Structure 1
Amino acid sequence: MTVHWSALIIGSLFAAPLSSALAAAPDVVRDLAGRVGPIVGQASTCPDITQGRVQNIVEKFREAIRQASNNDGERDQLMRGFNGYIAEGRSRGGASQAACANVERQLTDLERSLGQPAGAAPSSPPVGTTGAVTSAPVRGITDREIRFGIVMPFTGIRKETGRQMRLGIETAFARANEAGGIGGRQLRLIAADDGYDPNRTLAAMTQLYEKEQVFGFIGNVGTANSQVAIPYALERRTLYFAPNTGAAVVRRDPPDRYVFNYRASYAEETNALVRYLVKMKRIPPRQIAVFQQQDAFGDDGFAGVAKAYRQLNIADPVPRFTYPRATVDVDEAVNQIKAHKPQIKAVIMVSTDRAAAKFIEKTRDSMQGLIYANVSAVGSTSLATELKLLGPRFTNGVIVTQGVPSVAGYSSLVLDYKTALAKFSPGEAPDYTSLEGYIAATILIQALKQTNPLDTERLVDTLESMPNLDLGLGAALAFGRAEHQASHKIWGTALDETGTYQPIEIE
């Protein structure tokens, strides 16, 4: 293994001996990331410093990471750290002339340590540039189309969530394509199936990236699946946009440069539910429990409840009842909650549709008055469908928080969504998940239209320069260098006896 260029930096910039670099390459690179990352991050905000110079340093440092790493886990950790330091530098900015002059000197020192002329652009065009600057092709972009990928379950317990997410994105794409697309290019969404199984996610990501040559990813489904997909996307500096999960893994602080979210987090949803149950419904905290799936999705929701308790200075522990991931095996959880003392009066559910419906079915009659409060990932339409088969008493009063407004509402964006859905997918009913996909794709389309020439780095820069997104949603949306989550708004809904969602005040 060689760390030639790392050694050059160490020797000429940081004055550390070559032997140290060879003896502890990962530690050396980790330390250098904390020095190099902020420099290139801040340099990218200076208008007089060409992006080619910045990208050249980034490429060479990432190559050093690959050379210095002994395994994929270590490489991923180093990559995440470096990306975080870049984001830190970008958040500082370089708007002042003095700040940019200082960054220019630091960048020049880095270039000299690499043995290239100061201020030189890369000898070959950076991947991802278009237009008059270079003729180098951009992955996923042709004269006729821009290809995005989505990894989702085609079958299994989460197939309806995947189908609805895809439907919403494709509806927004179809609407944009009808209006001329992006600079005359048509948007195309290509799907790959991982069956909601994270062990299959990497193969699906690879298929889309290597075989289908997608420009980026949008709307991937699943928390555990994103845990696999994000490192893959980051290592390839590929956009990972609006995954269908509210988990912390896609919301790092500082944010990963290529990961953006539309929706509020599970922590925000569960926080809203705790406050609703405690302050508005007057449920004693010790009589509130969590029913969760046994995976990162469920754990993230439970952590949100525990955090809300701490914020409210509630000392009571949170009872937790679990079921195996991607199953409807809820009997053990049902027996535990029935036997719990004191009696549980409200349950916050971090689960999938069929498991949630089975839990409600098995507890509704024996635990009369129990309040069921689900987070949005349950899949609103499919949950309602499952419960309506059981009868009105099983639907009535079941709460679901949403990351989007009511599909029965009259905001301009919701009306646009329903019009487009009727036009491009006649017969499909409005759905909260497809609305989420539509909103996410609409935000992405706005950014694509504002990015010229189009490549990933410029698109990320555009997204990070959108502090006020007005989609007609009735809620504030914004991105920034330190903010990669557009919305923090939680909407409340509850099923009535007919299995129809009605809006409720939850915040």
Structure 2
Amino acid sequence: MTVRWSVLLLGTCFVVPMGSALAAPADVVRDLASRVGPIVGQASTCQNIAQGRVQTIVDQFGEVIRQASSSNGERDLLVRSFNGYIADGRSRVAASQVNCQMAEQQLAELERSLSQQQSAAPVIPFTLAPSTAAASTQPTAKLPPPLPHGVSDTEIRFGTVIPFSGVRKEPARQMKLGIETAFNRANDAGGINGRKLRLIAADDAYDPSRTLAAMTQLYEKDQVFGFIGNMGTANNAVAIPYALERRALFFAPYSGSAVVRHDPPDRYVFNYRASYAEETAAIVHYLMKVRRIPAKQIAVFAQNDAYGDDGANGVAKAFRSLGINDPIIRYGFPRGTLEVDEAVSKLKAQTKPPIKAVIMIATDRAAAKFIEKTHDAVPGLIYANISAVGSSSLAAELTLLGPKYTDGVIVTQGVPSVAGYSSLVLDYKTALAKYFPGEAPDYTSLEGFISASILIQALKQTTPLETERLVDTLEAMRSIDLGLGSALSFGRAEHQASHKIWGTALDETGTYQAIELE
């Protein structure tokens, strides 16, 4: 294997002997990454430097990494190393305000060296760099900037990893439906500067052990630009590191967990929805302040995983904010199952004092099974679910059981009522009817529609289109107006657009009606 980059830096030529390159290509590439990466990182922060130039270097070096790697593992290590040096370059600019004129000079020197190597040695495009003096007399080749990963002349591809099989398949279907509704509407209006948006989905069956393979398929085989609407807390815990290593946008995952909300936020991760902690806080406030139920008569029914833990921790935090430090009463069940009998038995055994409300951090079918088995045994219970339960599928499950099972069922939402008349909801229902006739409006698909609509606005404002500029565009978006009736915005330290919680309750027909949580 011949490593084809033997270059220069910082205004002078750094030459790597070709013998060394032949002896240990990965080591040579790693050394070059430590020199090329900071230049790329610094240049990528300068607004006066066309990002196509930067991307050309990144893509060319990526090919060098591919050729120098003896295995996928070695390639991934080299990619992470190169990305780390790019990040170092970016952070140097942030810390010391490196002069962008100097960054431009360094980038131009690198381009000149590569240009001369290409013209001088067509068989081995990148050989020894000429001297700086000689380089300065040669014209810089005008290379057309390559298109970003996942972008062609006609389309922009996004991926989503969601469970088309297993216990979460209906919310997954709805999320995909909502995103595609927004994409189709944008495409009919001309797309993104003439390019059509395309969504490609991969199924991980709600199984985190299958998430990495699904992410890899989308990024490497399907060549997606970024990700949108990924589902599942434990699944996102696997997916996000993969996206971050590749500096790929990870937009609006269907999760309110802390896994997708770091402080400070991960640069490439953006959320639309409110967090589970915010939803559970709203539920606790409603139960204690509006319904006058004391904390000792409120229990938590939560899936035994990171999703359930996140919701349960949110309840405990809400209690502490009210000066209540007693441990929460928690009933659990295994992840991805309907095995709720143990939780049902514990609830029935809790008689002094009796439980009057259960905050549910569960999936739709598990929640419905728990309600079915406790409804008659513990009359008058309030069942308060967070939005990730899957509103429509929960309603469908309970309606099949009979009208009485919808009584007392509450779901908090990260979106307004689908029966409402805000301009956003009307736009959504009109588009849904046009592109997917026969599909009923749904809270999950509405969330997908809203998330995709925000992304579409950002894509239209990003020229030229590449990930770093798109992230900068998103971080600069204030007062995003979708006709939602609630303020949406991002910032460098704020990667969550909405903090609004809406309340809904099922009536005897299985229809959600709006309720006031305050």
Confirm or deny that 1:363 pairs with 2:374.
Answer: yes
Confirm or deny that 1:395 pairs with 2:402.
Answer: no
Could you say which residue in structure 1 is the equivalent of 2:187? Answer: 177
Q: Which of the residues 147, 157, 166 maps onto 1:156?
A: 166
Distance in 1 between the 2:89 and 2:377 partners? 52
Superposed displacement of residue 107, structure 1: 8.2
Q: Is the 8 A contact 1:417 1:438 kept in 2?
A: yes
Confirm or deny that 1:438 pairs with 2:433.
Answer: no
Q: Is the 8 A contact 2:44 2:90 kept in 1?
A: no
Distance of aligned partners of 1:365 and 1:186 in 2 relative to their CA distance in 1, 3 Å threshold: same
Q: Is the 8 A contact 1:396 1:499 kept in 2?
A: no
Distance of aligned partners of 1:402 and 1:121 in 2 relative to their CA distance in 1, 3 Å threshold: farther
Q: Which of the residues 400, 407, 428 maps onto 2:439?
A: 428
Could you say which residue in structure 2 is the equivalent of 1:474? Answer: 485
Q: Is the 8 A contact 1:289 1:318 kept in 2?
A: yes
Bigger radius of gyration: 2
Q: Deviations over 1:426-466 (max 9, x none)?
A: 00000000000000000111111111111111111111110
Q: Is the 8 A contact 1:269 1:401 kept in 2?
A: yes
Distance of aligned partners of 1:148 and 1:374 in 2 relative to their CA distance in 1, 3 Å threshold: same
Superposed displacement of residue 487, structure 1: 0.5
Q: Is the 8 A contact 1:87 1:481 kept in 2?
A: no
SS at match of 1:348: strand
Could you say which residue in structure 2 is the equivalent of 1:285? Answer: 295
Confirm or deny that 1:506 pairs with 2:517.
Answer: yes
Q: Which of the residues 266, 272, 278 maps onto 1:268?
A: 278
Distance in 1 between the 2:379 and 2:259 partners? 37
Q: Is the 8 A contact 1:165 1:219 kept in 2?
A: yes
Could you say which residue in structure 2 is the equivalent of 1:314? Answer: 324
Distance in 2 between the 1:394 and 1:313 partners? 34
Could you say which residue in structure 2 is the equivalent of 1:136? Answer: 146
Q: Deviations over 1:394-453 (max 9, x none)?
A: 102200000000000001010000000000000000000000000000011111111111
Confirm or deny that 1:230 pairs with 2:225.
Answer: no
Q: Which of the residues 447, 451, 465 maps onto 2:462?
A: 451
Amino acid in the other structure paired with 1:389: L
Q: Which of the residues 99, 113, 123 maps onto 1:104?
A: 99
SS at match of 2:401: coil
Distance in 2 between the 1:324 and 1:290 partners? 15
Distance in 1 between the 2:301 and 2:56 partners? 46
User: Aligned-pair RMSD on alpha carbons?
Assistant: 3.7
Superposed displacement of residue 50, structure 1: 6.8
Could you say which residue in structure 2 is the equivalent of 1:17? Answer: none
Superposed displacement of residue 184, structure 1: 1.1
Amino acid in the other structure paired with 1:104: N
SS at match of 1:492: strand
Amino acid in the other structure paired with 2:460: K
Q: Is the 8 A contact 1:40 1:107 kept in 2?
A: no
Q: Which of the residues 365, 384, 401 maps onto 1:354?
A: 365
Contiguous gaps of at least 5 residues in structure 1: 1-7, 10-32, 126-131
Q: Deviations over 1:144-199 (max 9, x none)?
A: 11111111111111000110000000011111111111111111111111111111
Q: Which of the residues 306, 316, 325 maps onto 2:335?
A: 325
Superposed displacement of residue 345, structure 1: 1.0
Amino acid in the other structure paired with 1:147: R
Contiguous gaps of at least 5 residues in structure 2: 1-8, 11-33, 116-141
Could you say which residue in structure 1 is the equivalent of 2:383? Answer: 372
**What TM-score, normalized by structure 2, do the two folds share?**
0.78
Distance of aligned partners of 1:139 and 1:502 in 2 relative to their CA distance in 1, 3 Å threshold: same
Q: Deviations over 1:275-333 (max 9, x none)?
A: 11111111111111110011111111011111111111112221111000011100000
Could you say which residue in structure 2 is the equivalent of 1:26? Answer: none
Could you say which residue in structure 1 is the equivalent of 2:427? Answer: 416
Distance in 2 between the 1:458 and 1:250 partners? 21
Distance in 1 between the 2:406 and 2:291 partners? 19
Amino acid in the other structure paired with 1:190: I
Distance in 1 between the 2:360 and 2:38 partners? 41
Distance in 1 between the 2:337 and 2:184 partners? 35
**What TM-score, normalized by structure 1, do the two folds share?**
0.80
Q: Is the 8 A contact 2:40 2:54 kept in 1?
A: no
Aligned residue runs from structure 1 range 11-160, under 5 A:
47=47, 100=97, 103-104=98-99, 117=106, 120=109, 134-160=144-170
Amino acid in the other structure paired with 2:99: E
Distance in 1 between the 2:495 and 2:284 partners? 25
SS at match of 1:205: helix
Superposed displacement of residue 224, structure 1: 0.7
Distance in 1 between the 2:154 and 2:94 partners? 36
Task: After the TM superposition, list the runs of 4 or more consecutive aligned residues in structure 1 that deviate by more than 4 angstroms.
Answer: 37-46, 48-57, 85-90, 105-108, 116-125
